[in-house]
Amino acid sequence: MQIYSFSAGPWQTNCYIVSPSDGSECLIIDPGMKAAAQVREVVAEHHLKPVAVLVTHGHIDHMWSVFPVASGYGIPALVHPSDRALLSDPGLAISPETRTALPSMMDVGEVFAEPDDVREVTDNMTIDIAGFDITIRHAPGHTAGSVLYDFAASSGSDHRNVFTGDVLFAGAIGRTDLPSGSPSEMDESLRNVVLQLNNDSQILPGHGPSSFMNIERDTNPYLLRIAQGLSAT
């Protein structure tokens, strides 16, 4: 399994391009602000064939380039139905300050819209795509439609790879104070989804470095609080 990544835009959002090997089909996860050009560079350099865009959640820093990337390659975008509306109207889930600043951040002619092919993913759905066996794990709290993409261990690997978006970071969790965020739902997601992940799962978050679940279980202060029966915050 090959995982290429780069940080996009002022929010430094991790965009991942995942393939079984060079020269094969690939998946693009969370193409953020102005990420389309870098995606094209990685795809061309490694002779990849994009087959889908996977959206962990609908916040603008994660879905900014979904439309140009999915439309440019003629591929579907996968998103949870609770966050689907954000693809065309990201202002529904951002702060008033960001909403005010948004027009000045956009290039001339740049738009937010759904690609022609949008496919909704739901909790515990399994998909077989680009040679990967992926389980969708709905984990609301950061947004109503936040999901984890849990990739089964591939040939030559002894661990799963879980793309957690902004639900779980190395040593932290996502904020819950934006529209559709919920501290109580985040607690439930951390308890019933995140803490149920295998200890050897590699955590690939929406921002910052990767980690492993055994490390997060033992050291992440928010997960430690949940494990003690407390609220994460």
- Residue 19 domain-assigned? yes
Q: Which of 173, 233, 179 is nearest to 205 (CA)?
A: 173
**Burial of 195: CB neighbours in 10 Å, binned 0-12, 13-18, 19+:** middle
- Residue 233 domain-assigned? no
Whether 69 contacts 28, CB under 8 Å: yes
Q: How many CA atoms lie within 13 A of 49 on its CB side?
A: 6
- Residue 146 domain-assigned? yes
Distance between CA 67 and CA 115 in Å, rounded? 5
In one letter, which amino acid is 177?
Answer: D
Per residue in 7-17, is it b (16+ CB within 10 Å) or e — as a string? ebbebebbbbb
- Total domain count, the chain: 1
- Residue 36 domain-assigned? yes
pLDDT along the chain (233 residues), means of 10: 93 96 96 94 97 97 96 97 95 85 81 94 96 97 97 78 98 95 97 96 97 97 97 93
- Residue 133 domain-assigned? yes
Distance between CA 22 and CA 224 in Å, rounded? 39
Q: What does pTM read for this prediction?
A: 0.94
- Residues whose CB is less than 8 angstroms from the CB of residue 157 and which lie 6 or more positions away in sequence, other chains included: 1
- Residue 57 domain-assigned? yes
- Residue 70 domain-assigned? yes
Distance between CA 32 and CA 50 in Å, rounded? 16
For position 8, which CATH number holds? 3.60.15.10
Supply the pLDDT for residue 109: 78
- Residue 21 domain-assigned? yes
Domain of residue 181, residue span: 2-227
